[in-house]
Amino acid sequence: MSDSETPANGVTSRAPEAAGFAPERVAPRASGLNRGHAVAAVAFISTGLSVGMTSYGFGVFVEPLAREFGWSRAQINAGFSIGFVAAVSAPLYGALIDRFGARPVMFVSLLLMASGFLIRTGMTQLWHWYAVSGLVSLGSAGAALLPAGKLVGTWFPRTRGRMMGTVASGSNLGGAIIVPAATWIVAASGWRMAYAAFGLALIGVAVAVAIVVRDRPGRESAEPTRKTAENDKSGGLTLRDAVRTPLFYFLAVGLTASAFTHPLILTQLMPHLINEGLTATTAAWVLTVSSVVALSSKIIMGWLSERITARNATVVCLVIVSAGIGMFIAAGSTWLVWPAVLVFGLGLGGFGALRTLVVAESFGMRAFGGIMGVFTFLTVVPIVSGPLLAGFTFDATQHYGPAFGAAIGIFLFGAVVLTLAGSVAKASGPSTAAAR
């Protein structure tokens, strides 16, 4: 549409162009739900089930697998450590998303996860557990926040923080639903039936992705502004340019530290509570409450990121989650677990949204998939070491306190590094001004 053209609604608009990129024409839409919100809703569900089943739901199966097969906690937790497959494959997924879009990547990834859960129903040997865990992990990298971050950044450039917080909160809602549902299915029909239910649910989400998700706004754009095209293509740094900035490495360390929340704490929280004397049902409800609190935290922290930057909001979350873990250590099996879970959930919730927002605000959307893929690759460190640290220290001490104490140190170190990243961003010049 040229400058002289006037659409039927009487509003004159000018199609943005940046660095020679001619974006698709979009018709202004002042309010109401549209395709972008449907895309966000599917990303919300995909994120919820993917994270809920692999992280929140992991602890539900520890006791049943240990009883049936006689495996130690370290052996079972090593299955979660095989999640390094997801981290290693993340750069490839990021490049595929940048080139082909999030939709095909999400579809295939969900089917890989579904296949893994369905195959788990027939496993009988420890190596089966490890092999299938690798398959589930391979799919999980392309089913949750990596494609969701690209979709939200493209469809909602003006309200990216709030919308990413909303979409990422799906992981917590998924946890709130998955943990009690899986606990009930395991008690009623066994762990194999629970894994079968996981697989069938993911197949349903894959179908929804194929039908609903679109990678780029057309006339149904959720936010038809110049920023949509600019953020998607020309706004920000390439991966090669990003890795040449000091900020990249400060963020890499800080965000990797924050990634210990799931493999070192969340997957071990239910076994910890049971070991302290709580029943499996009560422990499941504690995780459910943490999921609900974390859900609201993602939305709050997404909003906060638009005001104090996502990096600073991540620092806040690291401090809060450290306090919550300390309260869990002190609470044992007393009523103090309930205030502990409120504090822990408030800190835990923000990370899922904030990691993607830190990358987007620091380096733009031009190579978001590739850059986010590299940061996700670095989570191989917590994914591998976190569960093993928890498993070995428990086997040696019959207590999760040492592992949880180590987590507090890691999180506070990450908070310091991310705080220092602010000074690095200011010294780096205009290329990283968004991170200030």
The 10s digit of each residue's pLDDT in 144-178 is 888 888 888 888 887 888 888 888 888 777 877 88
Contact indicator for 156, 257 with CB cutoff of 8 Å: no
pLDDT value of position 372: 85
412-424 pLDDT per residue, tens: 999 999 999 877 7
**182 compared with 28, residue with greater pLDDT:** 182
Mean pLDDT, range 266-271, rounded to an integer? 86
What is the band of 32 on the pLDDT scale with cuts at 50, 70, 90? low
| Nearest CA among 410, 294, 412 for reference residue 353 | 294
Domains of the chain: 35-435 (1.20.1250.20)
Tokens (6 digits) for 59: 């602890």
Residue 9 confidence (pLDDT) above 60: no
What is the pLDDT at residue 402? 92
pLDDT recorded at residue 154: 83
Q: Which of 60, 62, 57, 55 is nearest to 77 (CA)?
A: 62
State both tokens at 327.
């309260």
Candidate ranges 17-21, 176-180, 237-241, 326-330; pick with highest mean pLDDT: 326-330
Picking from 221, 215, 324, the residue whose alpha carbon sits closest to that of residue 266 is: 324
Cα–chain center distance at 335 = 30
Which residues, 6 or more positions from 334, have their beta carbon under 8 angstroms from its beta carbon? Answer: none
Per-residue pLDDT averaged across 311-333, rounded?
A: 94
Q: What is the mean pLDDT of residues 34-55?
A: 88
- Max CA distance (Å), the chain: 75
Beta bridge partners of 364: 236
Q: What percent of the chain has pLDDT over 90?
A: 36
Task: Judge contact between 111 and 210, C-beta under 8 A.
Answer: no
What is the C-alpha separation between 205 and 176, in angstroms, rounded? 18
- Reported as half-sphere exposure (CB side, CA atoms, 13 A), residue 301 has a value of 35
Handedness of CA 318, 323, 329, 333 (dihedral sign): negative
Model confidence band, residue 13 (pLDDT cutoffs 50, 70, 90) = very low
The dihedrals phi and psi of 21, each to the nearest 5 degrees, come to -90, 125
Taking each continuous run of H as one helix and of E as one strand, the counts in the chain are: 20, 0
How many whole angstroms from its chain centre is CA 400? 24
Nearest Cα residue to 370 out of 125, 171, 98: 98
CB neighbours of 261 closer than 8 A, spacing ≥ 6? 321, 348, 351, 407, 411
* pLDDT above 70 (res 22): no
Stretch among 47-51, 216-220, 326-330, 357-361 having the lowest mean pLDDT: 216-220
273 pLDDT above the threshold of 70 = yes
For all residues of the chain together, what is the average pLDDT?
82
Residue bearing the bigger pLDDT, 306 or 113: 113
* pLDDT of residue 4 exceeding 80: no
pLDDT of residue 220: 55
> With bands split at pLDDT 50, 70 and 90, how would you rate the model's confidence at 44?
very high
**What is the pLDDT, as a whole number, of residue 18?**
32
CA distance 164 to 167: 5
- 7: helix, strand or coil: coil
Weakest mean pLDDT among 126-130, 229-233, 379-383, 402-406:
229-233
| Residue 204 pLDDT exceeds 90 | yes
pLDDT digits (tens, 9 = 90+) for 332-349: 889 999 999 999 999 988
Q: Quick one: average pLDDT of 190-209?
A: 94
Predicted pLDDT at 429: 54
pLDDT-derived band at 114, boundaries 50, 70, 90: very high
Nearest to 15 by CA among 232, 23, 29, 156: 23
Q: Is the predicted pLDDT of residue 187 greater than 50, yes or no?
A: yes
What per-residue confidence (pLDDT) applies to 433? 44
Whole-model pTM: value is: 0.69
Percent of all residues in the chain with a pLDDT value above 70, rounded to a whole number: 86
- Among 428, 379, 96, 92, smallest CA distance to 242 is for 428
